[in-house]
Structures are given as C-alpha cells and as structure tokens.
Amino acid sequence: MSQSDGAASPARVSQRDDAASPTPAGERGPVSYHGQPVLKEPVWSWEIPCYLFTGGLAGASAGVAYGAGVRGWETLSRRAWLTASAAIAVSPPLLISDLGRPERFFNMLRVFKVTSPMSVGSWILSLSGATISVAAFHDWTGRLPRPAAVARPLAAVSGLALSTYTAALLTNTAVPVWHEARRTLPFVFGAGAAVSAGGACAAATPVDCAGGARRLAIGAAAAELAVTQLMERRLQMHEEVYRSGRAALFSRVSRGCLVAGAALMGARGAASRRAAVAAGALLCAGGLATRWSVFEAGKQSAADPRYVVEPQRRRLDG
C-alpha cells in the first residue's frame, strides 16, 4: 500500500550492501540482505494520523468542557462539548475507512485484549463516543439530564485515555523509532491533545469567556515542544529519522506552528477573536503535524534495515 514511500528514500540502503561486490566472509557481513527492509512498513494511510489528532482533540476537549462546567463557565463548557462532539463524530469514520475490510469494523468489539492497545482503544473510543454524545446532546437540547450527569465525568476521564492510548498503540510494535519512544511518546500525544483542545476551544469561544482554554493552549504548546525534544534526544541513533524525509518536514512544520500559535495566542488572543481563531488554527495545525511526523518516522524507521539490525547487533556483541 505504502511500501513505495520508503523505497524512494535514498538513505534506506546502506553503503555496504552493494550486491555487486560480495562481502568477504569472516568479516562483519553486510547489515542487510541486498538492502531489503527487515520489517514491513505500516500499511496505514492518511486516516490514521488524522485520527491521532481528532481522537486527542475530542478527548481533551471533553476534559475542558467538564472542567469549565464544574467552574460554572457555561459558554466555554458548551463550546468545548461542541468541539468534542465534532471531533469524536469524525473519528470512527476515519478509522473504518482505513480498514482493509471496512464492513467488518464491528469485529473490533468481538474481544477485549489488554495485549492489543488497538482492542483497548476500540473500547475507549466507544465509551468516549457514547458519553461525549450524551453530554453534548444534553447541552444543546436540555434533554436526558440524568444520563448526562453520569456521562460528563465519564467523558472527561475516558477522554484522558482516548488522548494517550494511541501512543501505546504505536509503541507496541517492532518499529524501532516508535518502540524505543515507549516512555515518552504518550506524553507527546497527551500534550498534543491539550494543545489542540486549548486552541480549538479558544477559537470557538468569545474571548472574554476563553481564558482557561488560552492558558491550556499556551502551556500545552510549551510542554509539547519540550517533550518532543526529550523524546527525540532519548531515541539515540533513531533520532536521525526525525532529521530526514517527510518526518523532518512535518516536525519542522509542527515546531513552527506551535511557536507561532502560542505566541499569537499569548499576545493577542485575549484582545481579538480573530487573533484567537488564527492562533487556534496554528496550534491545531501544529498538533496534527506532530502526529504526522511521528507517523512518517515510523514508516521511515521500518524501511531502513540499519535501524533494526544495528541496535540488535550491538546488544548481542555486548
């Protein structure tokens, strides 16, 4: 499906893998078999990075909505439930359309497996979808007050899981750049969820009611930049994946959008709704670009046999 993306990358084939000049036996052999990848690239397409974004946006917006409701900030709470329900509404269609057999999407709820973050996530998404829908429905229509009273805190809590489980999904694979980020990627995705929720809710709410969303957006953007930096530094040799190809491009776009969005939100977000909308859009773009960069990094990492073989060889050689 997407194998050609990696094949086009010039960095893929190691210098030592030239099939025309056989390697002397007895020396350390080539690091790969004719430059072929050891792993299969993820077959997921554009829907998945989009869902990584919309899932986080929905989950963290539910938290904003619940928190604002508790504080009695009705305008922010209402706009945040609206944001959450829009984001959660597009999430299942994105996931279903990426399936090889979309008509069988319901098989996701055949079992519950803790060893499969995708299985756990299907249940989290179901719970978030149901609770956010009920809460938002009550908010618009005033109906179902009792179910909504139960749904609101549940939506806020399941939203935290919805915002972060996708990191477990990616790191629970053999793809080196994902698996080696298993302690930091959840924080990148959690901060990204807060950035997009803060940005979107600040954009959707009149400025005099949006102070909480602005604070969240600015603080989370700073956190996102910091934890992404930390993740890349701790990846050691795999850090170079984020310095090449499309992963690097999306990573640069992400940093630029986050810095510009946070600066604009801080400088003008409280004074001008237009500035708040522009800043919110930049922050959402930054959150999406971060996810996309991680997604592309996984493909690049799987396509290059060096990233698989070299760390394993070092481990064996002690």
Torsion angle, CA of 103/104/109/115, rounded to 10 degrees?
A: -130
Residue 89's alpha-carbon distances to 8, 66, 84, 94, 183, in angstroms, are 36, 18, 8, 10, 30
Residue 94's alpha-carbon distances to 23, 50, 81, 130, 252, in angstroms, are 47, 8, 20, 17, 25
Residue 74 has a CB neighbour count (10 Å cut-off) of 12
From candidates 15, 141, 145, 316, binder to other proteins by CB under 8 A? 316
Is residue 163 a contact point for other proteins (CB under 8 A)? yes
* Phi, psi for 27 (deg, rounded to 5): -85, 170
Integer Cα distance of 217 and 256 in angstroms: 15
**Stretch of 145-153, 188-196, 237-245, 253-261 contacting other proteins, by CB under 8 A:** 188-196
Cα of 277 vs its chain's centroid, Å: 22
Question: Quick one: tokens of 48?
Answer: 């998945």
Is residue 245 a contact point for other proteins (CB under 8 A)? no
From candidates 11, 97, 110, 233, binder to other proteins by CB under 8 A? 110
From candidates 4, 10, 15, 22, binder to other proteins by CB under 8 A? 22
Is residue 34 a contact point for other proteins (CB under 8 A)? yes
From candidates 92, 147, 211, 266, binder to other proteins by CB under 8 A? 211
**Stretch of 41-49, 125-133, 143-151, 251-259 contacting other proteins, by CB under 8 A:** 41-49
Integer Cα distance of 223 and 220 in angstroms: 5
From candidates 41, 139, 240, 304, binder to other proteins by CB under 8 A? 41
101 or 146: whose CB is closer to other proteins?
101
Is residue 194 a contact point for other proteins (CB under 8 A)? yes
Is residue 216 a contact point for other proteins (CB under 8 A)? yes
Which parts of 251-270 interact with other proteins (CB under 8 A)? none
Three-state DSSP class for residue 27 = strand
107 or 229: whose CB is closer to other proteins?
107
Q: Which amino acid is at 56?
A: G
Is residue 186 a contact point for other proteins (CB under 8 A)? yes
- Smallest distance from the beta carbon of 143 to other proteins, in angstroms? 26
**Stretch of 144-152, 175-183, 259-267, 275-283 contacting other proteins, by CB under 8 A:** 175-183
CA 96, 101, 107, 108 torsion: positive or negative? Answer: negative
115 or 141: whose CB is closer to other proteins?
115
Is residue 42 a contact point for other proteins (CB under 8 A)? yes
Residue 75 has a CB neighbour count (10 Å cut-off) of 14
- Smallest distance from the beta carbon of 270 to other proteins, in angstroms? 11
Is residue 318 a contact point for other proteins (CB under 8 A)? no
Tell me 111's DSSP state. Answer: -
Three-state DSSP class for residue 235 = coil
Which parts of 79-108 interact with other proteins (CB under 8 A)? 98-102, 104-105, 107-108
* Phi, psi for 143 (deg, rounded to 5): -85, 170
Which parts of 218-237 interact with other proteins (CB under 8 A)? 219-220, 223
Torsion angle, CA of 3/167/223/221, rounded to 10 degrees?
A: 60
**Stretch of 83-91, 130-138, 154-162, 251-259 contacting other proteins, by CB under 8 A:** 154-162
Question: Quick one: tokens of 202?
Answer: 């600040």
**Stretch of 59-67, 143-151, 260-268, 270-278 contacting other proteins, by CB under 8 A:** 59-67
Is residue 280 a contact point for other proteins (CB under 8 A)? no
